[in-house]
Amino acid sequence: MENLDPVVLAIPVFFILMGAEVAYDYYKQRKLYRLNDAVANISCGIVEQLTGLFAKIFTVAAYHFIFVNFAIFELENTWYWILIAFIGVDFFYYWAHRMSHQVNLFWLGHVVHHQSEDYNLSVALRQSTFQKMFTFYFYFPLAFLGFKTEWFVLMGAFNLLYQFWIHTEVIKNMPRWYEFLFNTPSHHRVHHGRDPKYIDKNHAGTLMIWDRMFGTFKKEEETPTYGITTPLNSWNPVMANVKPFMSLWEEIKKVPGVFNKFKLVWMPPGWYPTSLGGFRPPKPVDKDSYRKFDIEISPGLNVYLLVQYIVVLGLTSLFLFNAGAMSTVLQIVVAASIVASVMLTGMVFEDRRKAIIAEVARFLLTFSVMGWLAASGMLPVAALAAVAVFGIGSIWILQRTGLHELVEVE
């Protein structure tokens, strides 16, 4: 328990604040939330947290290897060095984040966070499975200077936690002095805008001074159009992570010459060789004709999916809080089953023909994993029986009411 990630410990707070924002949204009728989009956002966060359990073996271990073997100084545990560590992590976060927008290869590891066309607290949880694999080495200078690994991990977590609350439209502006020094909802709304004047602006994590110093600051003017220039058009969290790789591969195949193919990987999004017309700037958004990707389903199916997803969230939280006490094999099995479950939930949101099939598959997967746990003595047989009753009952309700036939694509 003592080794839990601060981000995992904050999960209950995340959902309490999202609940408050949903209540405010319902009262004000601002339509900040859509269930399918919010579930997709949270599902991406679930996949990132689950894969992060294994990615840390490489990313944190790499930092620690540099620190142990190549650190120039031995820094003491004093408040001012820890403060400098926080500033250092924030500084290198700015550059890792900025390069994640300005290099096609690195964009693969960050684009997931920008795919949502809404802007609310659930978007903060929409994180990429692969981002750390593309950016962990940006922090190596801190290891060389002697900033302890635990400081790096802790300050990185706090940097990420700070950014949760700035993903909201509820807060318009903070006091002027705060807006000048720190990242705020207004600044970060700009960052999530796909309007040409907002693209590649406001890369800060906590301190806004980096954008002001390095020329990437942009003040919020009209409300941004959120999302990416080529929308994902899917609620599937696995597809959200995989499709960018597929798209870049298709682009690479179209570009002539080995050198140009290599260059495309390292150039900013929108770059093409002159033989293909050169750089293609993002097109302005026609706000009158623009429509968000959406799939309209019956209210009853929305309620059904919400109840099912709450169960998945509970199981995910239970796993994340207890993963440290599990064997690696058990971690992999449970994590894979949860990833498959949220992927299948996204499929139900997308396609009426797959709704029942996906739910049956999800139930069989869950029942199989929990059956294995029960057989291993790690789960009471009564819990397995409860899952069986719940799963069979859920599928019966879905089939009996015919909710799967009421899914319509807008």
Which stretch of 32-41, 141-150, 158-167, 305-314 has the lowest confidence by average pLDDT? 305-314
**Per-residue confidence band for 383, with pLDDT thresholds at 50, 70 and 90:** low
pLDDT in tens, 49-68: 999 888 877 889 999 999 99
**Cβ neighbours of residue 225 closer than 8 Å, sequence gap 6 or more:** 193, 194, 195, 285, 287, 290
Q: From CA 125, how far away is CA 43, in angstroms rounded? A: 8
The yes-or-no verdict on residue 110 having pLDDT over 60 is yes
Mean pLDDT for the stretch of residues 31-57: 91
Three-state SS annotation for 201-238: CCCCCCECHHHHHHCCCCCCCCCCCECCCCCCCCCCHH
Residue 179 in contact with residue 192, Cβ under 8 Å? Answer: no
Bridge partner residues of 296 (DSSP): 408
Rounded-to-integer distance, Cα 371 and Cα 377, Å: 10
Beta bridge partners of 193: 226
Residues 6 or more apart from 400 whose CB is under 8 A from it? none
- pLDDT class for 288, splitting at 50, 70, 90? confident
For residue 314, give the nearest of 62, 15, 5, 76 by alpha carbon.
Answer: 15
What pLDDT is recorded for position 405?
A: 46
Helix, strand, or coil (residue 107): helix
Mean pLDDT of the 289-300 span: 85
- The whole-number pLDDT of residue 409 equals 41
**DSSP structure string for 339-397:** HHHHHHHHHHHH-GGGHHHHHHHHHHHHHHHHHHHHHTTSS-HHHHHHHHHHHHHHHHH
pTM score, whole prediction: 0.88
Other CB atoms within 10 Å distance of the CB of residue 263: 15
Query: What residues have CB less than 8 Å from 62, skipping those under 6 apart?
Result: 136, 137, 140
Mean pLDDT of all residues belonging to the chain: 88
Task: Inform me whether the pLDDT recorded for 163 exceeds 50.
Answer: yes
Tell me the torsion sign for CA atoms 295, 296, 298, 302.
positive
Average pLDDT of span 8-25: 92
Query: What three-state secondary structure class fits 99?
Result: helix
Token digits of residue 241: 């992570």
pLDDT in the model for residue 194: 95
Do residues 59 and 132 lie in contact, with contact meaning Cβ atoms separated by under 8 Å?
Answer: yes
Q: Which of the four pLDDT bands, split at 50, 70 and 90, describes residue 376? A: low
pLDDT of residue 360: 77
Confidence check: pLDDT of 408 > 50:
no
Q: How confident is the model over 201-246, as pLDDT tens digits?
A: 999 999 999 999 999 999 999 999 999 999 999 999 999 999 999 9
Question: Residue 404's pLDDT is what?
Answer: 46
**What is the mean pLDDT of the segment spanning 96-115?**
96
Asked if the model's pLDDT at residue 10 lies above 80, the reply is yes
